[in-house]
Amino acid sequence: MAWTASTNPEQEYYESVHSVDEKALLLANLIKQSEHFIVFTGAGISTSAGIPDFRGPDGTWTLQAQGRDRTGPTTDTLQAIPTLTHMALVELQNRGLLQHVISQNCDGLHRRSGILPENISELHGNSNREYCKDCGKDYIRDFHATATYETSIHDHRTGRNCSRCGGDLHDSIINFGEALPDDVLDLAFEHGQKTDLCIVLGSSLKVSPANEIPEQIGCRQYSLRWPATLAICNLQPTPYDDLSTIRIFAKTDDLMVKVMEYLEIPIPPFILRRHVTVKIETESHITTLINVMGVDTDGTPASFLRTVKLLNYNYCMVTEPFIASIGGPLQVDTVFNIELEFMGHYCEPKLIIPHKFEWPGARECTYLLEYDPSTRKWEVTPDTTMQSLRV
């Protein structure tokens, strides 16, 4: 909050291009040699996406502390395109070089960019994720799944209910004065203890207990038993600069572009990936249920559909769960033309999936939907890797 920021923020520093280049080469070589490489990210990795940081000269908390209003444009986190840094980390993950991301960010861009849920510890929550305290079920939303805090800042109820048990859903945001979830924090510390290379990207390292993870890693730089390298890339000084082996004063995009060049790994463009499961179940000889559901990569329900239509049945579903009941006998090889309407944060057009009913009984198929914001076109393929997941 504003009281944690100074009215006179720390000065930002920029190293020479040559200096950043030399350190990027060093980091690339360390990544190649690393057995357990992790990154620790903060608000600085999202500023090039149009999302303000907190403690910079024009940071959100800095402006509040100074009593100033923001004058420049900002981007809604739901419409922000993941940055070059985000996409570089995704590619390092996909190639098996990056083992884990520890993030202080709540903007949801890591997950949207393609970081897998099992490969990230979102210490301070995710504005697109809510969960049920009663049964533990997670829900990923393509909207801000946060509480209004009308009762108190610690009342995280979103007003929605769990589809599994009916319990109250709560947002995952950690406000000041609240404890971090034990399971998330424990996993982050576990990776911090195992790492031999940690790169801090865009964090001031001033918020505890999250900052204790890079602090402990930095203290191991001279350890004979558990040696580790801590690299910090941030424009402002941090409390743990003296513990770092490599210190870079640069924008995270500028550093990561050079690191990827030295690794000879291209940074992929951002592609929005969605998974949709279609389940057709014949209840009797005269009734068929068609269930269309958005899911995350781990099978977690994901809300990104606005409406679902069965075009050849003139059937429109406008609220979740999207379940249609079709009367009359259903012939094998019947094709359902399913029209999907999305939330539209990236101007996604509607998409029609021709889904074939192949045999009586229960039939479930998951489709991978890939959307390129630069061309505004969808590509659809059956996703065999998701067929075994059940939500």
Q: Which of these is catalytic: 100, 124, 275, 355?
A: 124
CA distance 330 to 220: 66
Q: Give me the CATH topology for the region 2-127+173-263.
A: Rossmann fold (3.40.50)
The structural domains of the chain, with segments of one domain joined by +, span 2-127+173-263, 272-386
Among 36-45, 112-121, 381-390, the minimum mean pLDDT is found in 381-390
- CB atoms under 10 Å from CB of 69, counted, come to 7
Quick check: 270 pLDDT over 60? yes
Cα–Cα distances (Å) from 176 to 2, 214, 360, in that order, read 11, 20, 54
* 124 included as an active-site residue: yes
The CATH class given to the 272-386 domain equals mainly beta
- Polymer length in residues for the chain: 391
What is the per-residue pLDDT across 95-104, written as a single tens digit (0 to 9) for each? 999 999 999 9
Q: Where are the alpha helices (DSSP H) in the chain?
A: 17-33, 60-66, 84-94, 109-113, 182-194, 212-218, 252-263
Please provide the average confidence, as pLDDT, over all residues in the chain.
Answer: 90
Q: What is the pTM of this model?
A: 0.92
Q: Are 168 and 161 in contact (CB under 8 A)?
A: yes
Indicate the DSSP class of residue 269.
P
Mean pLDDT of 100-127: 97
What is the per-residue pLDDT across 185-232, written as a single tens digit (0 to 9) for each? 999 999 999 999 999 999 999 999 999 999 999 999 999 899 999 999
Q: Are 164 and 135 in contact (CB under 8 A)?
A: yes
Going by pLDDT thresholds of 50, 70 and 90, the confidence category of residue 390 is very low
Please spell the DSSP secondary structure of 16-38, one letter per residue: -HHHHHHHHHHHHHHHHH-SSEE
Going by pLDDT thresholds of 50, 70 and 90, the confidence category of residue 320 is very high
User: In the chain, what percentage of residues exceed pLDDT 90?
Assistant: 76
**What is the amino acid identity at position 355?**
H
Cα–Cα distances (Å) from 29 to 37, 88, 282, in that order, read 12, 16, 57
Quick check: 326 pLDDT over 50? yes
CA distance 58 to 257: 25
The predicted structure's pLDDT at residue 311: 96
Quick check: 253 pLDDT over 80? yes
CA distance 308 to 301: 16
Q: Is 173 left (phi over 0), alpha (psi -120 to 50) or beta?
A: beta
